[in-house]
Amino acid sequence: MLDFDMLGLAPTLNAALKRAGLTEPTPIQNQAIPLAMDGHDVLGLAQTGTGKTLAFGLPLINTLLDQPGKPKPKTVKALILAPTRELVNQIADNLRPLTEGSKIFVATVVGGQSINRQIGVLARGVDVLVATPGRLIDLMDRGSVDLSQTRHLVLDEADQMLDLGFIHALRRIAPKLGTPRQTMLFSATMPKQMEELSRAYLNNPRRVQVSPPGKAADKITQSVHFVEKPGKPGKLREILSRDPDALTLVFSRTKHGAEKLMKGLVADGYNAASIHGNKSQGQRDRAIKAFREGSITTLVATDVAARGIDIPGVSYVINYDLPEVPDNYVHRIGRTARAGREGEAIAFCSTEEADLLHQIQKLMKIEVPVASGDSPLENGAPGRSRKPSNRRGGGGGGGGQHKRGGGKPQGQKSKGGKPEAANADGANGNRRRRSRGRRRAA
């Protein structure tokens, strides 16, 4: 594999990468960086935890280093859009060390923070602006930002932006950008709407794909416990008690369910916290910080957090409720086995969730090995789990016996995720109601 210093990056960037202990690019970085540095539009598809931020961040900063002069007041040279506050902050945290000692200024604008302070920052001009679409539109409406000089656009986690209704915001933002411009779109999945988005906003893009859409990381061991709803709390406690010091992320389908589940765990003596759409920004930040540092070992979350949590030390992801959208299963379990580590993804499936499991297995083209319980799927039904597989990632885990291990992982930087322009939990609820309506009509 190539080293970073063989990609033609500026010496200051190579020095920053070495300070961070980064020498070899990941597959998505290895393929995307040369194309982006040559000025091509890029459509990047890769599972979560593969280093997409540097795949677009390095060539972007490298290009800006070659451009003379500072940005004019209120103007922005490069715009990165992300669907959640925490993901915006995570991107900025990854880019700022690369710009130390240079003229490049990276700024963020998100909801939940002082808009007047953000107006003051933008007034000086910004090289790289990382933003949520909702707050950016607020600033545009106030005349506080001028995007006419923006020649670089990055859409990160674009599929989630589609899921959360951000396409309408993008349609307002894109016409205000300068032309010609370079656009890079990165995503973990490739739904049909993404093809339409790429045709609308990318010019003859080069497609980079390092794993098939819907495929989990190779080092994730998967399993499913068939358990009815009343038995889920006991099964969760049984699993958590096997390795109480390991960082475990538990996904609940609703905000109310996540909060109730967290309070029950705390009452039983577990070090648990929750993050969801009803939590304030400060509450989410404190919960994630405690989880990263290990003082909280169990974090209960809704899909609001599925894309943003970047903690290599997460050993286990437990799908307490299966997601209504199969792609979200891939994003959830992608919170473990990050940065080259191994991880375990455990799913609970009740009788009423059998069809959801079938859809997940159909998307991933696997059968998740059964750890316990009897499958509610009828004999011969598509997607029915039969014999456990010894394959990791795409084929699942090591069968019915799983040992939760790994000790207490070292904490890393983490970010969760709350939508800016839409509430993810509410959006999922609306999507479920529409889906039920379609099934009844059929």
- pLDDT tens per residue, range 46-91: 876 678 899 999 999 999 999 988 999 999 999 999 988 888 988 9
Residue 281 has pLDDT above 80, yes or no: no
Q: Global pTM? A: 0.67
Residue with tokens 């594999």: 1
- Using CA atoms, how far residue 285 sits from 108, 332, 339, 417, in Å, is 16, 19, 22, 10
Burial class (CB in 10 A: 0-12, 13-18, 19+), 342: middle
Do the domains 4-209 and 220-426 sit in the same CATH topology, yes or no? yes
Q: State pLDDT tens for residues 385-398.
A: 333 333 343 333 33
The overall average pLDDT reported for the chain is 82
- Using CA atoms, how far residue 29 sits from 36, 51, 59, 136, in Å, is 10, 7, 10, 28
Q: Which among 67, 64, 60 has a CA at the least distance from the CA of 32?
A: 60
d(CA 247, CA 121): 37
CATH 3.40.50.300 fits 4-209, yes or no: yes
In words, the CATH class of domain 220-426 is alpha beta
Helices 85-95, 281-293: crossing angle, 10 deg rounding: 50
State the DSSP code for 418: -
CA dihedral angle for residue 12, residue 16, residue 43, residue 323, rounded to 10 degrees: -160
Q: Which among 264, 228, 428, 214 has a CA at the least distance from the CA of 348?
A: 228
Q: State pLDDT tens for residues 256-268.
A: 999 999 999 999 9
Q: Tally Cβ neighbours within 10 Å of residue 26.
A: 20
3-state secondary structure of 46: coil
d(CA 279, CA 147): 32
d(CA 128, CA 88): 12
Q: How confident is the model at residue 1 (pLDDT cuts 50, 70, 90)?
A: very low
d(CA 224, CA 329): 12
Residue 202 has pLDDT above 70, yes or no: yes
Task: Establish whether the linkage from the previous residue to 11 is cis, with ω within 30° of 0.
Answer: no
Mark 366-396 as b/e (b = at least 16 C-beta within 10 Å).
bbbbbbebebbbeeeeebbbeebbeebbbbb
Give the E-state strand segments of 173-293 in sequence order.
Answer: 182-187, 206-209, 220-226, 247-251, 272-275
d(CA 61, CA 90): 16
Domain ranges of the chain: 4-209, 220-426
Q: State pLDDT tens for residues 424-440.
A: 344 444 444 444 444 44
State the DSSP code for 83: S
Of residues 398 and 336, the one with the higher pLDDT is: 336
Q: What is the mean pLDDT of residues 107-120?
A: 93
> What was the pLDDT predicted at 432?
44
Residue with tokens 């795949």: 55
